[in-house]
Structure 1
Amino acid sequence: MLPGERSSVAALAALDDELRRGMYEFIRRARRPVARDEAAAAVGISRKLAAFHLDKLVAAGLLCAHFEPVGGIRKVGRTPKVYEPTRTDIRVSIPPRQHDLLADILLDAVLTEGERETAAQAAMRVARERGHQLGTAERQRNRPGRLGVERALTRSEEVLAAHGFEPDRETPTCVRLRNCPFHPLAARAPELVCGLTQAFLSGFLDGLHARTTDAVLDPRPGECCVALVSAPRRAAAAEPGSTS
């Protein structure tokens, strides 16, 4: 499960209660700040019980609360607490999916396609650029420099796990990616989507300065079509004292 999906699970759990769900739907439809009394009346419960459930929705990240005069009219006494929906998207996918990343790559490809590029070439370029940005950011967070096979694969496992690839060290020099974050779209256009995945991961390794490791196409049923493997000749060349 991706880190952001944990909060989505908590939000969905909060909505499992019928009263909370009813108040949440009422507040979303209102499209304005809603006070506790109004939310309570919408589902037929007391103001005190409504306050309990509304605070649960706030804690789950579904609502935000602040104090504001109802209807914009200032009255004598305490300013009431009002609730509005947050802009949080709630998405949970098991296994993890990254359709927004794929859509972002394709959108950027459309917007930046060059005169001498095909649409597919533009998409491959953007996918590699996005991967390179990810790898560069990871390298800058840690010690820069070229990585040997072991460290390159370990760092790749750590980062790609957070992006839903479910990496698994099959051998000391090969990391299999047990989940395809772009499924089922990969099943509809495997040549395009698998090519974009390889370009993204190649760019990632390049940005990471993992010169000893390649992203290669190695499709297997039910898994990502790309594996990360050591590049023997370059690995040997990268060893200290090597003259190759």
Structure 2
Amino acid sequence: MTTDPAISAVAALDDSLRRGMYVYIRRARRPVTRDEAAAAVGISRKLAAFHLDKLVDAGLLRAGYEAVGGVRKVGRTPKVYEPTEADIRVTIPERRHEVLAGILMDAVLTEGEGENAREAAVRVAARRGEELGAAERAQARPGRLGAERALTLIEGVLTRYGFEPARESPTCVRLCNCPFHPLAARAPDLVCGVNQAFLAGMLTGLEADRVRAVLAPRPGECCVELRSSQD
């Protein structure tokens, strides 16, 4: 009997070690060695190899042999792992459709005179983001925020919301996942505008005035980047 690929994927990710390594490899955005994967979750190389091969069998990773960093050294070329392009519907990366649904619902209920639906959605998204940022600031009490420190603080929030933030430079965070996909593919102008307003509002709530949310669409990633206002 043939096993459904989605069932195999979910079963493989039910183990916390495998899930941790899979998340690490997704975020690395490059082939990862067994040693790196093992260090990421704090286990031995031998145990990591076992779990990584399970992820390969489930269709979540593919394995190959590649010189790390593009430099060939004497000895055996290390085995490396990277995510497949398989469209397997599991909760990694995380989708947050309820956030978008809540924003759109509030926009419909509060749409003002002379305001169209898109403008209402952007307004509500900015307010939601600002409330979230203010709550995070009240909890963290970070004081005055420069660009780098603000980006570090917001990375934790964005990770919880499924954006998969990745530092492209000390003053730029790329968002490797859109938590509103595939809805964004159906209405990119609307969803990207809401996304930008939500993240800009979050920066306002954090009082991170040295960082801005800018539209910078890339295939397969979120349409917004967070950059220092001086970049």
Band the TM-score falls in, shorter-chain normalisation: 0.5 to 0.7
Q: 1:176 aligns with which of 171, 174, 177?
A: 174
SS in 1 for 2:225: strand
Q: Does 1:110 align with 2:108?
A: yes
**Residue 120 of structure 2 aligns with which residue?**
122
Q: 1:157 aligns with which of 146, 150, 155?
A: 155
In the TM superposition, residue 116 of structure 1 has moved relative to its aligned partner by: 1.9
SS in 2 for 1:214: strand
Question: What are the residue-to-residue correspondences of 1:55-74 with 2, within 5 Å?
Answer: none
Provide, for residues 26-72 of structure 1, a one-character-per-residue CA deviation record: whole Å limited to 9, x for no partner. Answer: xxxxxxxxxxxxxxxxxxxxxxxxxxxxxxxxxxxxxxxxxxxxxxx
**Residue 216 of structure 1 aligns with which residue?**
214
**Residue 43 of structure 2 aligns with which residue?**
none
**Residue 228 of structure 1 aligns with which residue?**
226
Identity of aligned residues (%): 67
SS in 1 for 2:163: coil
Question: What are the residue-to-residue correspondences of 1:75-86 with 2, within 5 Å?
Answer: none
SS in 2 for 1:232: coil
**Residue 183 of structure 2 aligns with which residue?**
185
C-alpha distance in 1, partners of 2:201/2:157? 13
Provide, for residues 135-175 of structure 1, a one-character-per-residue CA deviation record: whole Å limited to 9, x for no partner. Answer: 00000002254310111000010110010000000111100
SS in 1 for 2:92: coil
Please list every run of 5 or more consecutive structure 1 residues that lacks an aligned counterpart in the other structure: 1-8, 14-90, 234-244
SS in 1 for 2:91: coil
TM-score, normalised on structure 2? 0.61
In the TM superposition, residue 191 of structure 1 has moved relative to its aligned partner by: 0.7
C-alpha distance in 2, partners of 1:157/1:173? 12
SS in 1 for 2:174: strand
The one-letter code sitting in structure 2 at the alignment partner of 1:173 is T
C-alpha distance in 2, partners of 1:144/1:113? 35
TM-score, normalised on structure 1? 0.57
SS in 1 for 2:135: helix
In the TM superposition, residue 92 of structure 1 has moved relative to its aligned partner by: 5.3
Q: 2:204 aligns with which of 197, 203, 206?
A: 206
Runs of 4+ in 1 over 4 A off after TM superposition: none
C-alpha distance in 1, partners of 2:113/2:143? 36
C-alpha distance in 2, partners of 1:191/1:222? 16
The one-letter code sitting in structure 2 at the alignment partner of 1:152 is A
C-alpha distance in 1, partners of 2:118/2:143? 32
Aligned pairs, how many? 147
C-alpha distance in 1, partners of 2:169/2:145? 18
**Residue 142 of structure 1 aligns with which residue?**
140
Larger radius of gyration: 1
C-alpha distance in 1, partners of 2:90/2:218? 25
Contact 1:218 1:227 in 2 (8 A): yes
C-alpha distance in 1, partners of 2:133/2:144? 12
